[in-house]
Structure 1
Amino acid sequence: MQRMFDALAFHLPSHPLEAVALLLAVAVTAAAWTRIGGAPTGLLATAGTLGSFIQIGHPAIPLAIAAVGLLHLHAGRTIPPGRFAREVAIVLAGYLAYEAGRFAVVSEPAPAIRNAERIVDLERAFGLFRERDIQQLLTGPSPVVDAWNLLYSHAFLAVVIGALLWLVVADPPRYRLYRNALGASAAIALPLIALFPVAPPRLIPALGIDDTVISAGNPHHFANEYAAIPSLHVGWIALTGWIFALPLRGWQRRLVMVGPGLGMLLVVIVTGNHYWFDGLVGAVVSIGPAVASQHSAPLLRFARELAAAARSLPSVACRDPRGRFSALSLGGLFIYLGLARVVNPGFTDFWGYLFFQVGATLLLLLLAEGLFAREGGLSWYTHGIAVICTWADVLGTDGDLYARIDEYDKLTHFMGTAAFTAAAWEILRAVALRTRSTRPPRDRFFLAVAIGIAAGIGWEVYEYLGDVVFQTTRTQGRWDTFNDLVSDSAGAIAIAALLWWQERRVALALQSGPMPPRP
């Protein structure tokens, strides 16, 4: 907390133009916001104008407060002073709590630099480490650099505060969505900063990326130098664009939704403060809560159904034939792994991974069986292929079959993607029954196959990135990756075709007589 108090500053205008801008902002703010919400609102807004300048030493935020006030005044809008004061108190308390949290999180240089190197390796793996090139391309004479620095250091919070003040008066529902998403993103960012500190490019000399703010003679004031992920500079500006784009349509919606975030991404890269990956994470943790809030009703309904399915797990595992089969089969694998660990503790380097894989497979099978019980649950095909694939992977790893038999890896790829595709088919079938969809099974076939192949591609990307970032040596070259994808595709197509044929057989049987038992 002492570090936070030490960071408090007291600034006065450093030259006449700055003093004029501050006096103009104070006068306009007092007059406009008093008309909008009465004397208490005018007093609060004026205090915010002066306080922001005293702390930051730049008129950007005061001018933003004044400009928004003029816009509201021109539109004839008003706000009750009590509501304005309450929202100011909520936002200020949240921001101070976030700042206190950032100061409380103390990151060490060594892990932050290691994590930064991993981020650089990740970007290079995709051929997208271009931060130095972008900086060299977009910097030039000192006025250009000063403009980038101004956008990074002062425009960021001015835009966010201006957006809050605009929405709280002009559109309260969107304001609440914006305010809550800002708070949620801050709550998500703090544990990320604590658990995964990352040094920004400007602190890694080997990258050759300059600190344009320091180069221009301006000091940095950071709560934590090693908090590059997530970039809330990018995230909050991207969220601002997303919120303001909601009522728009067509090309205007796309421009406003994407433009501000991309613009701030360029700013943080050019100034040497972030990698593009930081901006991507910042956008996800900022916009994600807003999207979830907008779709809260179906998400809450799904959460309730998931909770009910979780409560029914013991019943599914004991009474449902397919659930009992998977519980006993995969439970046997748990026993095998446990006994092997006791008898020979070093029998495999992947014991923890295998134990987690078995548990996750069983949990997902039983949850899906409970979630879709009304639609008949999962088929025997899905349970069977998932159990066989899990056993094959565990025994193949334990017996070193992957290294001894070249085709074994391709067999497990075939079965693994088949299991994933079968689960996708079952879920799509259950959703179609619930929504009374009239789309033909052919569409489900293509979608399930696409999901399965996408999962296979995702696994290959994961293995490749694991090699590049964490040196796991899981991939064996491009030809091996190609063969893996062929096996993945074959597994997806084969199981989807089998399930499609089975569904057609049941449909034909229904037309001619009693329905045969579901496999």
Structure 2
Amino acid sequence: MTHARTEPTDQEPDIRARPPLVREFLLVAGLFLAYKLGRRAANGHVEEAFRNAGNVWDLERTLRLPGEGAVQDLLLHSQTLIHAANTYYAAVHFPATALFLVWLYWRRPRHYLWSRRVLAALTAAALVLHLLFPLAPPRMFPAAGMVDTGQVYGPTVYGQTPATDTMANQFAAMPSLHVGWAVMVAVGLIAATRSRWRGLWLLHPALTLLVVVGTANHYWLDAIVAVALLAVAFAVFRLPVSGGAVVSGGGTVSGGSVVSGGGADAPPALGSSAGAPDAPPAAEAAPVRIPGPELVPEPTPQPVPEPAPTGAAR
């Protein structure tokens, strides 16, 4: 017995759902530029950022979250390990997300549109939080007692003086877009593929979480808030389902029923008697009725009964 299995088509992506390349490039580049300019506009607010850091630190202790320093202590056991963590933080975040979008654009256009909308919504919400809630990361907060691994061991993407850093806003720790984007990449690839190993994509956000915390760039709450915002974006933007999905054997799934794709090797459609030698013969077809004038037979005359005698014989 052959079981039909739905899976995305790798050879023939739905090009009708693919938006124009130039328009998408300009749109994504414009969104990224607006985000970078927004982060720079939110730079400064040093006193407020450190005050918020104290509030976040106290809240984490109230919630009994594990200390970020425990993760950093594991990385500091090896200089090679901490250097690899710094490299991962600096070099994987943007390229991995860009490659994710490019692959979806060419191979899974419907998933691309969904992923781009979710990422744009997440990033816009993060920018609002950066403006409203500046936050100094653990590497700057003395109470955390953590090492700025980027400055000490390298490499780093930040300047030595956060208040005057023109390349990045170092007081934009809440939420962690490193974690939010990594979770989106993993979820998007799991949704767009059917490999039995696709669950391994979750290693990317898990490793990213350990890196951002171990390098003292983010608090646990930064990651929690990022995932919460992403969940809201998932609830707002639903992944569209195409009208027909490719199934094994060349058929399609339509309305919950399997339709054979044709060909000598195609499996018989559901309900077909092909390939079943013990199946009973089909019932004879009913005679075809040709419309025409109806012939109504004349009624047969019935005998009239004689009346009964009016009196009895004496």
TM superposition score normalised by structure 1: 0.40
2:89 and 2:51 map into 1 onto residues whose CA distance is 25
Correspondence for 2:172 among 213, 221, 227: 227
Structure 2 residue 88 is matched with structure 1 residue 151 = yes
Correspondence for 1:167 among 66, 84, 104: 104
Structure 2 residue 203 is matched with structure 1 residue 266 = no
Correspondence for 1:138 among 51, 75, 83: 75
2:115 and 2:235 map into 1 onto residues whose CA distance is 11
Unaligned runs of 5+ residues in structure 1 are 1-73, 297-519
1:272-421 paired onto structure 2 within 5 Å? 272-294=216-238
More helix by share: 1
**Contact residue 114 and residue 239 of structure 2 kept, 8 A:** no
Q: Report the alpha carbon displacement of residue 154 of structure 1 after superposing the two structures with TM.
A: 0.9
1:78 and 1:248 map into 2 onto residues whose CA distance is 15
User: Deviation per CA, 1:444-496, whole angstroms, max 9, x where unpaired?
Assistant: xxxxxxxxxxxxxxxxxxxxxxxxxxxxxxxxxxxxxxxxxxxxxxxxxxxxx
Letter in 1 for 2:141: I
**Contact residue 113 and residue 199 of structure 1 kept, 8 A:** yes
2:192 and 2:110 map into 1 onto residues whose CA distance is 12
**Contact residue 134 and residue 174 of structure 2 kept, 8 A:** yes
**Contact residue 236 and residue 283 of structure 1 kept, 8 A:** no
Structure 2 residue 184 is matched with structure 1 residue 239 = yes
Q: Report the alpha carbon displacement of residue 138 of structure 1 after superposing the two structures with TM.
A: 2.5
Structure 2 residue 65 is matched with structure 1 residue 120 = no
Letter in 1 for 2:181: W
**Contact residue 177 and residue 290 of structure 1 kept, 8 A:** no
Q: Which residue of 2 aligns with 1:182?
A: 119
User: Deviation per CA, 1:51-88, whole angstroms, max 9, x where unpaired?
Assistant: xxxxxxxxxxxxxxxxxxxxxxx979898998222211
**Contact residue 176 and residue 222 of structure 2 kept, 8 A:** yes
- Alignment CA distance shift 1:252-1:126 (3 Å): farther
**RMSD across aligned positions (CA):** 2.9
Q: Report the alpha carbon displacement of residue 218 of structure 1 after superposing the two structures with TM.
A: 3.8
Q: Report the alpha carbon displacement of residue 129 of structure 1 after superposing the two structures with TM.
A: 3.3
Alignment length (residue pairs): 223
2:103 and 2:115 map into 1 onto residues whose CA distance is 11
2:193 and 2:155 map into 1 onto residues whose CA distance is 39
1:210 and 1:142 map into 2 onto residues whose CA distance is 13
**Contact residue 235 and residue 279 of structure 1 kept, 8 A:** yes
Q: Which residue of 1 aligns with 2:145?
A: 208
**Contact residue 132 and residue 209 of structure 1 kept, 8 A:** yes
- Alignment CA distance shift 1:75-1:159 (3 Å): farther
- Alignment CA distance shift 1:144-1:127 (3 Å): same
1:79 and 1:140 map into 2 onto residues whose CA distance is 50
Unaligned runs of 5+ residues in structure 2 are 1-9, 160-166, 241-314
Q: Give the 3-state SS of the residue equivalent to 1:209 in structure 2.
A: coil
Q: Which residue of 2 aligns with 1:104?
A: 41
**Contact residue 185 and residue 285 of structure 1 kept, 8 A:** yes
Q: Which residue of 2 aligns with 1:484?
A: none
Q: Give the 3-state SS of the residue equivalent to 2:110 in structure 1.
A: helix
**Contact residue 239 and residue 283 of structure 1 kept, 8 A:** no
Q: Give the 3-state SS of the residue equivalent to 1:135 in structure 2.
A: helix
Q: Report the alpha carbon displacement of residue 92 of structure 1 after superposing the two structures with TM.
A: 0.7
Correspondence for 2:23 among 53, 72, 86: 86
1:252 and 1:125 map into 2 onto residues whose CA distance is 38
1:239 and 1:133 map into 2 onto residues whose CA distance is 27
Runs of 4+ that moved beyond 6 A: 74-82
**Contact residue 40 and residue 169 of structure 2 kept, 8 A:** yes
**Contact residue 14 and residue 109 of structure 2 kept, 8 A:** no
1:286 and 1:163 map into 2 onto residues whose CA distance is 17
User: Deviation per CA, 1:373-426, whole angstroms, max 9, x where unpaired?
Assistant: xxxxxxxxxxxxxxxxxxxxxxxxxxxxxxxxxxxxxxxxxxxxxxxxxxxxxx
**Contact residue 15 and residue 109 of structure 2 kept, 8 A:** no
**Contact residue 83 and residue 154 of structure 2 kept, 8 A:** no
**Contact residue 269 and residue 275 of structure 1 kept, 8 A:** yes
2:101 and 2:47 map into 1 onto residues whose CA distance is 38
1:140 and 1:87 map into 2 onto residues whose CA distance is 45
TM superposition score normalised by structure 2: 0.64
Which has the higher mean CA deviation after the structures are superposed, 89-98 or 242-251?
A: 242-251
**Contact residue 238 and residue 287 of structure 1 kept, 8 A:** no
Identity of aligned residues (%): 34
